[in-house]
Every structure is written in structure tokens, then in C-alpha cells.
Structure 1
Amino acid sequence: MARYTATSNLASALSANPIYDNTNNLGSLSDSAVQSFMVSYRANYQSAYLQMDENAPRSAGAIVGSAAGVTVGNISFNVTDSQLAVPGYQYNIYTAMGSSYATLSSALVAEGRFDSTQNVGSSDQSAQAYFVVYTADQQSAYIQVNAKSPISAGNMVDSQIGQTSGALTFVDTDDSDLYVRGYHYTVTGPDGKAYSDLSSAIAANSIYDATDNTGANDASAQAFTVNYVADRQQASLAVTSDSPISMGSVVTTVSGGTAETIPFSYNDSQIAVSGYSYRVMGPDGEWYSTLAEAQSNNTTFDDTSNATDSDADAQMFTISYSALS
């Protein structure tokens, strides 16, 4: 059996065996013991890595997977698509060839073999790179009035769109836009907590969430709900300060919320006094011949902005008595 001496290249093999042997051959066209040089190929060491892009929502710029093998061998990373998934983001895998794939698994099916870099030993002069590039999903937020609000029930006040983890602002709406005379309000934020005003609710919920969305639709938009409450108002029935009887006295006072119906508890028979005529001035500044007429023209509480249960400007029904001659 022929014995072979291994060399690293053909030139070395020829240098070690520079002349023909001395086999006894008959004729000139055949060699009973041909000198042969056997070429044996061995695949070079190759490597590949998986790296996050510089703006990734986590592990930005980090190498999160690596693989080692030989030329044309299968590449396999110790990372799966489920591990690359980040709520509120989509991602693509970009290969050394410049191709883009929706998943790591699909990238490795299409371009999952090691290249043929001419390497020596266990180092790779040009490792194959796979990059994970994330794109933030579109998110949305809105301001809406509570469906049970005494005013503007269910109205959509404003809406905005942004991206996962982006700053959440409402450029067209602030607390001055929500103010309505005669009402105070709270705002329930996306976190379910009640805040005294819109600015406080936004400060506590200042970034867009991370709902997994595809396209322009948000499966769970962030809601800021405005809850209006009517301020407390009062209406009084009183006698003028120059009346010949009961001067300056307050007959009754009733209370309720802005724009609610005034619950009148007195009528003309109860304020009539024998020997006197009367007329009644309503909150509108008009004089009426009867209390009923004054009440029919002033049926609801006004919209004074009151911070407490007291009314800074109560509605007055004023009785003016005159003695009959």
C-alpha cells in the first residue's frame, strides 16, 4: 500500500518529491506504479453572529447570538424568535447579503449556511452578521367625555397618534379647553386613576404604551376620560329690605346642580298677606305680578362656578310688598 506524507500545499509536496521514481516499466506508455499526489480538502472554520441594532428597545447594539461551524455548514443561533419579540415593536432580520426577513427562522431558511471565507485556525476574518432591526408600533390616545356626564356626554375631545414609548401629548387640548362654567371635572387616566386635571393625568401617563399593533389600528388605545360634575347652586326667596312687612327676611333657600330644575317649595298662596299686594322680581331682573310667573321664567339653576357647596352668586326671587290703600 502506498504511503503518503501530508503537506500543507502542492508546492511543498513537489519539493519533497521532485523527481520521477525508478519503476521498471515495459514500453513507454504505461507505468506500473504511478506516482500520485492526493488532494484532501477540509472545510475552513467559519462563524456568524446576531446583533441588535443601535436603537433597539432592549440590549441596543449587543450581540445576542453566535454560531460557529465550517464552510457551507448550517448556521444555528442559540436565540429564537420568541426571545427577540418585544411588546409594541415589530422587527426584521437583515443578513450580510442585504436581504430582509420578518423572522430569524425565515432568514436562516433562506440564508442559513456559513460562507467560504479563507480562514486559518479557529478565527474568522469576516464573520457573517445578522442584524435585528426594530420598528415601533403605532399607538394612539384620546380624550373623551364620560358617557354619563351631565354635559357633552360621550364627546370625543381630541385624539393623537404616536409610537411605542414615545412622548404622549395633546397639542390641541389643555385644561383651559376643558373648562365649562358651572362645572368642575376630574380626568381618569389610562392607568385607571382619577386626577384633578388633564395636565396631571398626562404627567402620570406621559408615554405611549406597548400594545402589539399592526398597521394604523390600535387594539387598545389609551383613554383619558373627562368626568364633569355640576357645581352646587342656590336659589332663595326673600323679601326686599324696604318692605313694610318681613323686610329683608329670607323665606326659603333651595339648592341643586348647574342647569338642574329649581325645586320650588313655595307658591303664591303661601306668600300672600292680607292687606298687602306684592310683586316678585326674578333672578333675571324682571318684575312679575306673581311668584308662579317669576318661577316659570326662571326654572333652572344658573352656572356660577362654585368650588364648594356654597354659592358665590345665589339666584334671588325677591318679594316686594305694598300696603293696600
Structure 2
Amino acid sequence: MDIRQLGDNIRNFSLDDGDLGSQGYTRVLLQLFGYTGHEKSSFINSCKYILEEGENFKEHAEARKTDYGPTMVRNAYPLTNVITIVDNRGCSKMNDFERAEVYAQLGNFIPIGEKVEWKDNYKAMMGAIEDSELEPNFSDLIVPIFVYSVRKLISAEERQDMKTFMENCVKMTDIVPIIVLTSKTKGDYLEMEKQFRLMGAETVMAIENYTMESTIKTLGRSTDILMVIDSALRYVRFRLEQPRDPRRERIERKKFMYNYIHHIQLHQEEKKDEIEKSEREKEEKKQEEEKKGLCTLL
């Protein structure tokens, strides 16, 4: 597809285009996820730069090149009147409750514009989910996008985290996350694409972001970035070909969150019991050794 046509198709996209209409959705929400320092913010800046068609590059989303990205607030950036891209808080390494926060962002249970704080207990997590019912958001059609830099090697722990994340994204959104590999010229993106496909990814796309240091628009770079958005819209069209119920889907996402948090609580209690059991066994062993030592003296 010609790059101009590709851009026009994105700018003119409407949720009412299908035979069944919007079915109650009012916005496409491209939800960006990933570890800190993998160029989520740079990807947003690149999308804005291309779609606005200007020659002045602007950092709409703050980006850093370190492993400790600055994004703490769930920020939204409109790409068109219908399409909005969201920079969710990233992680370095996730514990159980941080994983739950990631899914809370995915399910729109944390309001856009609100600071994302990692909670560390069951009560706080459940309270946050209940608070989201004050102004429930059920009209966003969510498309998950996972961003990963080819500069980084995928550890065994990350591989399992990402595989589980993709599986849970399908449960929550009915969509397998689009994988965006950034810095495509800085590593072996073909090998990394293979790894993600083995994890269950259906769409893997490699791109090179625009930055303050690299603003000259090229056909290939711009096309790659637009193709990511176009792929997301193809998922949207596919979903809208079948009857949908946005309110029911939010309820199902909420059930998923309750179940997920409940399992975290059980896991935490099991770990606590194991620690306490280990401490008791150590104490009993210590007392037993002290008794043997006393008997030897006698």
C-alpha cells in the first residue's frame, strides 16, 4: 500500500465503517506495554511525527535511553479523532502485584492521567479495582501492543513473563498483542521475531524510531511505523465483524482481575507459610542441637 494511502486510511478510520457499526465503542485505545527503556515513548513520538505530517519533530512523550524510564503516569496521546495511544508504566522486573498493576492498566481500571503506583497487598489492589467503578470506562476498544528493543537480550524470566502476558491479553481483550521491535538496525531483529512467534505472537513488526537526533523522514522508516497502526486497525475491524457488548466485556475483564488478584493472595500466603515453616524448623533444629550439647556436657 502506498504510504500516502496508508496514512489517509489511518486518519480517516471510523468505528462505524463495518456492517454492525461501532456497537457502543467510541475510541480505539492502542495500549503500549513493555519494560522500561525499550522506547515506548519514542514510538509514540514517531507516530505523532508521521501522522501530523509536519517537519518539526516534537517530544510529546518524554523518552530516555536509560533502563529506568520516566513514565509513571498513564498518559494518552490522540493520533486521530478516533485513535488514541497510551503510554503505560513500564517495569524493570515484575513481582506478582506489579503484574497485577500491568493488567489493571490493560483493562482500563486505572484512569488515564493517573499516576501508577505499584501496590504490595491484596486489599490495596482490590480497593483500586472497586474505585474504578466510580467512572467505569467500557467504550474503549483496546488493542495491546508490546514494545521490546532488539538491543536487549531476552532472559528466560522475561520470556515466561511475556508469554503469560500475551495469553492474558487474549483473555482480557480477545486480541493477541502486536509485538513492536524497536532499534531494528541495532540487533538481530529476525532472531528476536522468531523468539516472539514461538511465544505465541501473531504480528511482529520491527521499526526504527524517530528521535531528536534522527528526524529526517525516510520512506521505509515511516512506512514501518504506520504499518503498526494499520495492523492494530485490522484487529479492530476483525473484532467488529462479530457482535460485541462493551459493557459485558468490561465485566469479564473485571472478573479476570478479581481472579488474578485472588491467586496472588493465595500465592503470597503460601510463601508466607513456607517461610514460617522454615523458620520453625530452624528453631527446632537449633533447640535439638542445644539439648544434645547439654547432654554431652552432663
**TM-score interval, normalised by the smaller of the two chains:** under 0.3
| Higher gyration radius (CA) | 1
TM-score scaled by length of structure 2: 0.21
Structure with the higher fraction of residues in helix conformation: 2
Greater relative CO, 1 or 2 (CA 8 Å, sep 6+): 2
TM-score scaled by length of structure 1: 0.19
Structure with the higher fraction of residues in strand conformation: 1
